[in-house]
Amino acid sequence: TLVPCLLLALLLLAPALPAPDKRGLIFNLDIGELCLQSAQCKSGCCHRGSGLSLARCAPKAAELQECSPKSLYGVYYKCPCESGLTCEVDRTIVGSITNSDFGTCKDPQSE
């Protein structure tokens, strides 16, 4: 009786498994989709507008936009910078703990 139950379970779960080229259910998420960690997002930024809002995948910050340095938390109030840009911020211990160290994306080549 265990083998037929396992086969039935596999048949029911097979459609839920992602195809290799398609977007996954918890990873490779598009802009605007709900997330828990930045690693889930194609963009690499899981953004929360406030402490009470749901986090959604968002684009990384462009030059001269507000940014957060890379964080251990995986969810940002300001997204980190696009590739090639640096987030210039005065880091503080309190800001690091509260995830409120914000800066501005700058091109290190233009200085």
pTM: 0.69
Q: What is the pLDDT of residue 72?
A: 65
User: What DSSP state is assigned to residue 30?
Assistant: P
CATH number at residue 35: 2.10.80.10
Q: What is the domain range of residue 37?
A: 26-106
Q: What is the pLDDT of residue 69?
A: 84
CA distance 3 to 1: 6
Between residues 87 and 17, which one has the greater pLDDT? 87
CA distance 78 to 7: 46
Interval 41-100: pLDDT, tens: 999 999 999 888 999 999 999 999 999 887 766 899 999 999 999 998 876 666 555 556
Tell me: pLDDT of 4 over 80: no
- Note whether residue 10 is domain-resident: no
Q: Mean pLDDT throughout 15-31? A: 65
49 strand-pairing partners: none
CA distance 42 to 40: 7
- Note whether residue 8 is domain-resident: no
List, as one string, the DSSP characters of 43-111.
Answer: SS-EE-SSTTSPPEE-PPB-TTSEE----SSS-BSSPPBPTT-EEE----HHHHHHT---EEEE-GGG-
**Of the listed ranges 13-22, 30-39, 95-104, the one predicted with least confidence:** 13-22
- Note whether residue 7 is domain-resident: no
| Residue 23 phi, psi dihedral angles, 5° rounding | -65, 140
The β-bridge relationship of strands 103-106 and 66-67 is: antiparallel
**What is the domain count for the chain?**
1
